[in-house]
Each structure stands twice: as C-alpha cells, then as structure tokens.
Amino acid sequence: MKYELSEFVKMVAKHEGMVLEPYKDSLGISTIGIGRNLEDRGITDTELDYIGKTLEDILKVGLTEEEAYYLCMNDIAIVEKELLERKPIVNQLDQVRQMCLVDMGFNMGVPRLMKFVKMWGAIEVGDFYEASEQMLDSRWAKQVGKRSEHLAQMMRAGYEWTG
C-alpha cells in the first residue's frame, strides 16, 4: 500500500474510537481496543505472546494504548491482504483512496465490502464521483454516519477531508 501506516492507524482510531476494556459495539459484538472484534477475530497466541498477557488478563484488565495500536496494525494488515487478493486494482489507486477502502474493509469486513458491486464498477473505470455516491447509497452509510461522509469525500476527491 502507498499510505503511511502510522497516519492511517490514527485515522482508523478516530473512526473506530479506542476503548481499552472489552465492550459491546453498536451491533452487540464483544470488542476491544480499536475495533478488534473478539468474537470473530479474537486474539491470537502470537499476539498474546507479544503483548505478554493471557486472554483472561485482557478480559479483566484490558489493553494499553500501545497494545491496542499493535492489534489494530495487525487487523489492517489482514484487511490489506484480503482486499488485494479480491481486488488487485486497489494497488493501482492513490494512497487516499487506498486508505478509504481499507478503512471500509476494516469497519465492515472485506466480504461485505465486496458486495458494493456498483462502487467497484465505478472504481474500475476511474469514476470516483460515482464510487462515492454508491458508498453513500448504502445501509452501511446510514449505520456509520459521518464516517461514511468522510470516506466518500476521500474517494471522490482523492485527498483526506478533515471537515
């Protein structure tokens, strides 16, 4: 990917929020850190070894900010890999549009992101205005509100919108 990972992680953290203790997200899914889904993704043995805590410890005492960022970077790497496997065109996009799509994949999962057929069709022909309109014309946009507006502006304009 073309973007700076440390800057992208900050954007994802702004969108997702950071909660260092386990909580239920808006869909009732057990979550921790920066959007780490504890039900579907969990925390791997390798991650637990790196953090130096057991899963039980994390569930009781939570994470540090550093640990939350570590898990988030791992999640981003998984999304990038899945996204590039399914849509190699992402590698040809500028860094801002890559961040937009990885952020969407992080939020909803790559399989759901693949269902944005009209958006992908518009991206493939370079019609980023139409791609952004397709993003906003979705149930996802209604669920995430301002996040979808921010990401749609990034898709449309090719630069990060801070409004």
Residue 32, helix vs strand vs coil: strand
Query: Is 129 a member of any domain?
Result: yes
Burial class of 28 by CB neighbour count within 10 A (0 to 12, 13 to 18, 19+): exposed
For 58-86, what is each residue's pLDDT tens digit?
999 999 999 999 999 999 999 999 999 99
Query: Is 119 a member of any domain?
Result: yes
pTM for the predicted model, two decimal places: 0.91
Please count the structural domains in the chain.
1
What is the pLDDT averaged over residues 14-41?
A: 93
Query: Is 58 a member of any domain?
Result: yes
CATH of the domain at 96: 1.10.530.40
CB neighbour list of residue 73: distance below 8 Å, 6 or more residues apart: 5, 9
- Packing angle between helix 146-157 and helix 95-108, nearest 10 degrees? 150
Query: Is 163 a member of any domain?
Result: no
The fraction of the chain above a pLDDT of 90, given in percent, is: 91
Query: Is 36 a member of any domain?
Result: yes
Query: Is 63 a member of any domain?
Result: yes
For 113-151, what is each residue's pLDDT tens digit?
999 999 999 999 999 999 999 999 999 999 999 999 999
Is the dihedral angle over the CA atoms 140, 42, 98, 145 positive or is it negative? positive
Task: Give pLDDT, residue 101.
Answer: 98
Structural domain harbouring 108: 5-157
What is the pLDDT averaged over residues 11-16?
A: 93
Query: Is 162 a member of any domain?
Result: no
Task: Give pLDDT, residue 160.
Answer: 61
**Per DSSP, what are the bridge partners of residue 33?**
19
